[in-house]
Structure 1
Amino acid sequence: MNTLTWQVSRDFASGVTQVRLAGVLTDTELVRLAPVLRRCLVEEPLGLIVELGEVTVASPIGLRVFAILAGGGGGHRPAMHLCAHPGTPAGLLARRSISDLVSVQDSVVDALKLIESGPRSPYRWHQHLAPHPRSPGTARRLIEAACRSWQLTALLDEAMVVGSELVGNAVEHAGTELDVTTTRQAGAIRISVRDRAAQLPTPANRTGSSHTGRRGRGLAIIEALANDWGYAAMPDGKSVWAALRLPD
C-alpha cells in the first residue's frame, strides 16, 4: 500500500516549522499533504523545512507541488526548504526537477543555518508571549509598530483592538505560552495568535448564548472589526487569526 506519513513540529523559540515525511509520495498522497503544508505556511513561521530523506518519490512531476506552495501567496510567503541528501533517490530527483524553483538542502542543519542567517522580512512582526494579563498590551504595541512601519495608520485602531482580543482570549482560555504574528499580505494585514491548547474557539452566537462572557465579547468584537477570521487546529495547539482589508 502506497502511504505517506508526516510529523509536524514547531520550534517556537526559532520560529521554524519542520515537517518530516516518510513513505511513498504519490499523486494521491500529495493531495492529502498539500493542505497540511498550507496550514503550516498560514502560521507565518520564519521558515518551513520539509524532510524528504525517508521518502520514495513515485510522482516526479508531483514534486512541483512543493514549488507551487513555496511560491504562492505573494512575496511575503515564508521560505520553504526541502531537505534530502543528494545521495538519496529523493534528494537526487528533487535537485534535478525543482531545485531552480524551491530551495533543496542537504540537511536540516543546513536549512536552519539559512533561515537563521537570512534577512527578516519587514512584512512580518512576531513576538513570543507568556499567558500573562499584560500580554494583550504587549500585542497592541507590536501591532501599532507594525502598522506604522507599513504606513497603515488608517487601520491602526482596529488592528490593535483585534490583536488585543485575540491575545486576551488565548491568555484567559488557553492559559499557555503563545506567539502573536502580524503580517502584511496582498490586500490585507493578518494577525494570528498561536497557543498550545487544543480547545477550539466557539463564538457565543453559535451556541445560542449571549455575548456576556469574556470569550463571547472578544469574538464578537473580532467579528465586527475584522473582514475575516478563523482558526486551524494543530497537533500541538491551534492558531486563531483575523484579517483586515487594506484601504483602497
Structure 2
Amino acid sequence: MTWAILRDFTGGSTRISVTGSPTPEAESHLSTVLLHGRLDAPLTLEVDLNGLPTSDVAPLVTVLERWATSQEGGPRLTLSANPLTPTGRLLRATLGRHPVLGTALLDHPSRRTPSDPRRAHLCLPADPQSPAAARKLVARHCRTWGMETVVDRAMVVTSELISNAVLHARTDIDITVTAMEKALRISVRDRAADAPHAAAPTAASQVSEGGRGLPIIAALTTRWGFFAFGDGKTVWAVIDNG
C-alpha cells in the first residue's frame, strides 16, 4: 500500500490518497501518515480511497474508524471515492455500519472544505524579514480572537520557529495559527526533513529578532514537538490561554 499527501494550506485541507493492497504493517503506517497530515493543522483531513481494491475497503475503513475514535479535536476526517465505481459503491454501503465515519463520505473530487474564522495561514520565503511578517500575523489574530494573554509569548515563539526554518531549512515556509478551545496552536512547516536545530545561530541579526534557539520555545509553551516526513517537517507549539 502506498499513499501521497496533497496539502492546501490556504484552503485548509490535506488529502491523503491511498493506493494498492494493505500489508500487515499498513495500520501503523497509515496512522503515522494521518498524524503527519493532522499536524499541519488542516480543517479537513481527507482520505481518498479511489485507488483501493474493493476487497480492501472494509479492513481499511475499520482502521480509519479506530484512528478517528482515538482522536480528540483536530480536523474533520472525511473519505472520498467516486460513487460510480465499485469501490465507491461498496464504501458507501460499508460506512453505514460505522458510527464515527458514517457521515464522513464525500463524493470525489471533494471541494467542500469548510472555512474557520479561528484559523490563519501565511506562506513565507526563506527570508530574514519572514519572522517579522509571521509575528504580525500572530499578534493580529490573537487580538482578534480575544487571546491577548498569549500575544507576547506567541510572538517570541513564532520568531524562533520561523528563524530556525529560515536559517536551517532554507525553503518556503508555511505558518498556520489556530485558536483552540483554551490554547493557541502554532504550526510551522518547511520542506527539509531533518530535525529542527537546537543550537542558536551565531549571529542573531541574520533574522529579525530571532536566534535564541529551541530552549526558549520549550520555556514559553505548554508543549511542542516536530514530525519529519519525506517531504519536509512540521514543528508545532501550543500555548495555553491563561
Higher RCO by CA contacts (8 Å cutoff, separation 6 or greater): 2
Once residues 26 and 60 of structure 1 are traced to their aligned partners in structure 2, the CA distance between those partners, rounded to angstroms, is 14
Q: Report the counterpart of residue 120 of structure 2 in structure 1.
A: 125
Confirm or deny: 8 A CA contact 1:64 1:98 kept in the other structure: no
Q: Report the counterpart of residue 54 of structure 1 in structure 2.
A: 51
1:160 aligns with 2:155: yes
Q: Report the counterpart of residue 101 of structure 1 in structure 2.
A: 102
- Gap runs ≥5 in structure 2: 205-209
Q: What code does the residue aligned with 2:82 have? A: H
User: How far apart are 1:38 and its partner, in Å?
Assistant: 1.9
CA separation of 1:102/1:216 partners in 2, compared to 1, >3 Å: closer, same or farther? farther
CA separation of 1:138/1:34 partners in 2, compared to 1, >3 Å: closer, same or farther? same
Residue correspondences, number = 230
Confirm or deny: 8 A CA contact 1:27 1:62 kept in the other structure: no
- Gap runs ≥5 in structure 1: 205-210
Once residues 246 and 181 of structure 1 are traced to their aligned partners in structure 2, the CA distance between those partners, rounded to angstroms, is 17
RMSD: 2.6
TM-score (norm 1): 0.80
User: How far apart are 1:107 and its partner, in Å?
Assistant: 1.7
1:114 aligns with 2:115: no
User: How far apart are 1:200 and its partner, in Å?
Assistant: 1.5
Which of 88, 92, 96 does residue 89 from structure 2 map onto?
A: 92
Q: What code does the residue aligned with 1:63 have? A: V
Confirm or deny: 8 A CA contact 2:83 2:108 kept in the other structure: no
Once residues 28 and 133 of structure 1 are traced to their aligned partners in structure 2, the CA distance between those partners, rounded to angstroms, is 43
3-state SS of 1:60 partner: helix
Deviates more, 1:226-235 or 1:156-165: 226-235
Confirm or deny: 8 A CA contact 1:25 1:59 kept in the other structure: no
User: How far apart are 1:201 and its partner, in Å?
Assistant: 1.3
Confirm or deny: 8 A CA contact 1:192 1:240 kept in the other structure: yes
* % identity of equivalent residues: 39
TM-score (norm 2): 0.82
User: How far apart are 1:67 and its partner, in Å?
Assistant: 4.7
Q: Report the counterpart of residue 207 of structure 2 in structure 1.
A: none
User: How far apart are 1:225 and its partner, in Å?
Assistant: 0.9
Alignment map for 1:1-248 (pairs within 5 Å): 4-12=1-9, 14-25=11-22, 29-56=26-53, 57-58=55-56, 60=58, 62-67=60-65, 69=67, 72-74=71-73, 77-98=74-95, 101-108=102-109, 111=110, 113-115=111-113, 118=114, 120-204=115-199, 213=202, 217-247=212-242
